[in-house]
Amino acid sequence: MAQATINLRMDADLKRDLEAICKEMGMNLTTAFTIFAKKVTRERRIPFEVSAPADPFYSEENMSRLKDSMEQMKNGDVVSKNLSELEALANG
pLDDT of residue 78: 84
Is residue 65, in this structure, part of any structural domain at all? yes
Is residue 51, in this structure, part of any structural domain at all? no
Question: pTM (2 decimals)?
Answer: 0.56
pLDDT of residue 53: 83
pLDDT of residue 17: 96
Structural domain harbouring 84: 56-91
User: What would the 3-class secondary structure string for the chain be?
Assistant: CCCCCCCCCCCHHHHHHHHHHHHHCCCCHHHHHHHHHHHHHHHCCCCCCCCCCCCHHHCHHHHHHHHHHHHHHHCCCCCCCCHHHHHHHHHC
pLDDT of residue 50: 83
pLDDT beneath 50: ranges in the chain? none
Total domains in the fold of the chain = 2
Measured between alpha carbons, how far is 77 from 27 in angstroms, rounded to an integer?
Answer: 66
State whether 60 and 33 are in the same domain.
Answer: no
pLDDT of residue 54: 85
